[in-house]
Amino acid sequence: MVNTLMKIKTRIAFAGFIIALVAPVCAYAMTAAISLVPSSGTLAVGTTKAVNIYVTPESGAVYTAKVTVHFPASLLHVENFTPASGVIALSQPGYDLVDNAGGVIIKTVGFPKGVTSQTLVGTIMFAGAHAGSAQVSVDSGSLALEVDNSNAALSFGTALFTITAPASTGTKTSSGSSSTTQTQPSHEGSGSGVAAAVTHLLPSASSVAEAAAALSVCALSLTGLSWLLVIIAFIAGVLVGRKTMRKSRKELKKEEKKKNK
């Protein structure tokens, strides 16, 4: 009887020793972290920010990840989600959800061969809705399942993003209206160039050259159509004057011939 009791005690002690050795190993094997990268950043209202979800097994392999992410619906909304390359995305109800009104996104992916190191689950594309400070967090109910469907997820990441107001466009004056600076076309130097062309076309008499010089000075003070009209009138006056002078000379010659006769 005594020998039998001693054998039972010995077996119990040995079993306890084995459990003491195996339990820490099992506990360590069932540890995994689900994180968000980047964990901080800034975006403006109306712009987007990509946030990656990673699963990192501490030991052993993870075959399935079901990740629930919460975000402030008043500041951010989800534009889209892109699963990582090589994963199998599940679309069944309860495993696939984007709720911008409630501020939650649920995504589930499978890793066909299992993963033993930090691995991308997928990418959430957030868009800034209003200015403020937005905390994005992985729900503690998220799963990182091993081959036997035991949950290894024990660490859940968070991220903090600052959403800034959109940059204003245009310059405002003190009255609030837009200020616009207009550049007027410059006519500097155009008057002298035209005057030179006129001088080239007119007779080379000294009086005409002096008139052209005077016209050049006047043209510098005029802009647009006004100085052009003045130049045209001047040319017309010179031409008419020349014709009048020719007629007068012809008449004088006729009178001289009559007197000679």
Residues of the domain holding 154: 30-164
Q: Are 248 and 212 in contact (CB under 8 A)?
A: no
| Same domain flag for 95 and 201 | no
Tell me the average pLDDT of the chain: 76
The pTM assigned to this predicted structure is 0.56
Token pair, residue 89, equals: 């995305």
pLDDT in tens, 8-52: 554 544 444 334 434 444 444 468 999 999 999 999 999 999 999
Q: What pLDDT score does 257 carry?
A: 72
Answer yes or no: is 129 within a domain. yes
pLDDT in tens, 227-260: 567 677 778 777 767 777 777 777 777 777 777 7
CATH of the domain at 123: 2.60.40.680
| Same domain flag for 39 and 120 | yes
Q: Could you tell me which residues come within 8 angstroms of residue 84 by beta carbon, excluding any fewer than 6 positions away? A: 109, 119, 120, 121, 122, 123
| Same domain flag for 132 and 46 | yes
| Same domain flag for 203 and 237 | yes
* Structural domains in the chain (count): 2
Q: Which of 60-69, 159-168, 189-198 is modeled with the greatest confidence? A: 60-69
pLDDT in tens, 71-122: 999 999 999 999 999 999 999 999 999 999 999 999 999 999 999 999 999 9
* Whole-number Å distance between alpha carbons of 61 and 117: 8
| Same domain flag for 92 and 155 | yes
